[in-house]
């Protein structure tokens, strides 16, 4: 293919093109196509591919050097396995008994080794006839937390007294086999959706029920300690969280200036850690549990600035209701950390109308960057810095933090 730069394409396509230039073989599919590479080789491959992606999409400037993951393998603090249940009365040579669908190729290299032990223990339990009813009702088994503390979440399609007894026994068995299992929860999803935590729940059902242990896991780095509920979004690479927070901090306004708006704030990772930089902070997220967790932690973080957490879906028509009137132009900063699908153009337009001085926009999928850059540009905001972080080492994705300011 020579050295020509494609006119467009996903970051993964640029990574594969870069690999072909270097005569490197990658897995054909799955999320962990880079997991079997030596990590310095992966970093070089991603940096080269991101540079070509930037050129191919005609993005302004160029990204800064990639911030590597301190723990490039066995770093993912959330893992899941889908349950396979044999149809009643039917034998299968492929799946002769109840069991757990294994990790996709390479994914085991990204998960902490303790997770694999928990899934293996769970599979052994489900192979027993006494747990057959539980195997039929289970959708997923999820392990999340930190490198030191695990919480196990059982996603079930239904629940009755007998199933509750079985899942409680299973949870206790897992705790007995690995002392890092500190808590366990039930999550009910009658729809058996492909997502392991379902947001669109039927009326009258409960979202999460604790079996034992604390209501949260403790996430510590530097001087910060967060208490994260089991259903709250949290970045999967604990080892790179200090680097992510420091990158956002380096883009924020100096000491005690104006107001920070933290949109899609989750449990308050940025709202609380940046508290000392602003006179006041407003943090918004649609997840009530995350918002409650953030409120409970305010007093644990340094700084005197009031931190206001608000619960509500972030949309064009909701921001005016959820946020105070804007300050004079330039006196607000915005941290925007939307889910993988990115921020809607209407949300970007609503933020731009407030005339913030700085917008720190986080992208967990690089493929969302070109459209967002164009949207911000139409509203008078331009890229000042772009810092990629290898939050998803072993996969063809990067976390990228982009600073926008007005001309």
Confidence at residue 1, expressed as pLDDT on a 0 to 100 scale = 43
CA 239 to chain centre: 14
| Strands ordered across the beta sheet of 332-336 | 307-311, 280-285, 259-263, 332-336, 358-363, 399-406, 381-389
**91 has pLDDT over 80:** no
Q: What is the pLDDT of residues 180-215, one digit of tens each?
A: 999 999 999 888 877 766 544 444 445 789 999 999
Exposed e or buried b per residue across 313-338, where buried means at least 16 C-beta atoms within 10 angstroms of its C-beta: ebeeebbeebbeebbeeebbbbbbbb
Q: What is the pLDDT of residues 15-49, one digit of tens each?
A: 999 999 989 888 877 889 999 999 999 999 999 99
**Which ranges of 24-156 would DSSP assign to H, the alpha helix?**
39-56, 113-126, 132-137
Residue 281: φ, ψ to 5°: -135, 135
* % of the chain with per-residue pLDDT over 90: 76
* CA pair distance 400, 366, nearest whole angstrom: 7
Among 62-76, 185-199, 390-404, where is mean pLDDT lowest? 185-199
* CA pair distance 395, 280, nearest whole angstrom: 38
Query: What is the mean predicted confidence (pLDDT) over 364-383?
Result: 97
Q: What is the pLDDT of residues 300-328, one digit of tens each?
A: 999 889 999 999 999 888 898 999 999 99
pTM, two decimal places: 0.91
Torsion of CA 341, 346, 318, 304, to 10 degrees: 80
In 3D space, the residue among 171, 149, 130 whose CA is nearest the CA of residue 78 turns out to be: 149
Query: What is the mean predicted confidence (pLDDT) over 56-77?
Result: 97
* CA pair distance 98, 87, nearest whole angstrom: 9
* CA pair distance 247, 375, nearest whole angstrom: 23
Q: What is the mean pLDDT of the chain?
A: 90
Confidence at residue 294, expressed as pLDDT on a 0 to 100 scale = 97
Q: What is the pLDDT of residues 206-257, one digit of tens each?
A: 578 999 999 999 999 888 899 999 989 899 999 999 999 999 999 998 777 8
**94 has pLDDT over 50:** no
**93 has pLDDT over 70:** no
Name residue, tokens 């996969």. Answer: 395
Cβ count within 10 A of residue 45: 22
**92 has pLDDT over 80:** no
Integer angstrom CA distances of residue 137 from 95, 189, 221, 404: 17, 10, 38, 48
Confidence at residue 400, expressed as pLDDT on a 0 to 100 scale = 98
Confidence at residue 196, expressed as pLDDT on a 0 to 100 scale = 66
Strands, E, within 346-380: which ranges? 358-363
| Signed CA dihedral, 117, 121, 123, 124: sign only | positive
Which residues make beta-bridge pairs with 280? 259
Strands, E, within 326-396: which ranges? 332-336, 358-363, 381-389
Which residues make beta-bridge pairs with 55? none
306's tokens: 């009031």
In 3D space, the residue among 310, 319, 316 whose CA is nearest the CA of residue 290 turns out to be: 310
Confidence at residue 406, expressed as pLDDT on a 0 to 100 scale = 94
Domains of the chain and any CATH numbers = 78-215 (2.40.50), 219-406 (3.40.50.150)
């Amino acid at each position: 293919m020579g050295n020509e730069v494609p006119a467009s394409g996903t970051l993964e396509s640029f990574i594969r093109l870069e690999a072909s230039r270097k005569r490197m073989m990658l897995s054909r599919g799955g999320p962990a196509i880079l997991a079997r590479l030596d990590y310095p080789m992966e970093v070089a491959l991603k940096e080269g591919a991101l540079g070509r992606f930037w050129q191919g999409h005609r993005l302004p400037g160029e990204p800064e050097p990639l911030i590597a993951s301190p723990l490039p393998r066995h770093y993912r603090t959330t893992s899941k396995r889908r349950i396979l249940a044999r149809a009643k009365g039917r034998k299968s040579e492929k799946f002769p008994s109840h069991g757990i669908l294994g990790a996709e190729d390479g994914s085991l290299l990204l998960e902490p080794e303790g997770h694999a032990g928990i899934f293996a223990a769970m599979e052994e339990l489900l192979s027993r006839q006494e747990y057959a009813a539980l195997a039929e009702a289970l959708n997923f088994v999820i392990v999340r937390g930190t490198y030191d503390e695990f919480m196990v979440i059982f996603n079930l399609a239904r629940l009755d007294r007998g199933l509750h007894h079985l899942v409680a026994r299973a949870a206790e068995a897992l705790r007995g086999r690995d002392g890092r299992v500190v808590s366990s929860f039930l999550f009910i999803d009658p729809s058996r959706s492909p997502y392991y935590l379902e947001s669109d729940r039927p009326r009258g059902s409960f979202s999460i029920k604790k079996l034992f242990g604390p209501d949260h896991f403790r996430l510590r780095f530097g001087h910060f300690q967060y208490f994260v509920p089991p259903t709250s979004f949290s970045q999967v690479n604990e080892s790179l969280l200090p680097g992510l927070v420091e990158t956002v901090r380096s883009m924020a306004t100096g000491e005690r200036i104006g107001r920070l708006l933290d949109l899609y704030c989750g449990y308050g990772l940025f709202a609380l850690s940046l508290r000392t930089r602003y006179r006041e902070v407003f943090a918004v997220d649609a997840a009530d549990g995350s918002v409650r967790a953030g409120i409970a932690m305010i007093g644990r973080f340094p700084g005197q600035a009031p931190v206001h957490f608000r619960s509500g879906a972030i949309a064009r028509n909701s921001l005016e209701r959820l946020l105070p009137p804007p300050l004079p132009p330039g006196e607000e900063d915005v941290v925007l950390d939307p889910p993988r699908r990115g921020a809607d153009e209407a949300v970007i337009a609503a933020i731009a109308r407030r005339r913030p001085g700085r917008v720190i926009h986080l992208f967990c999928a690089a493929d969302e960057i070109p459209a967002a850059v164009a949207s911000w540009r139409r509203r008078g905001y331009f890229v000042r810095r772009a810092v990629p972080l290898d939050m998803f080492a072993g996969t063809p994705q990067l976390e990228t933090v982009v600073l926008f300011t007005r001309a």
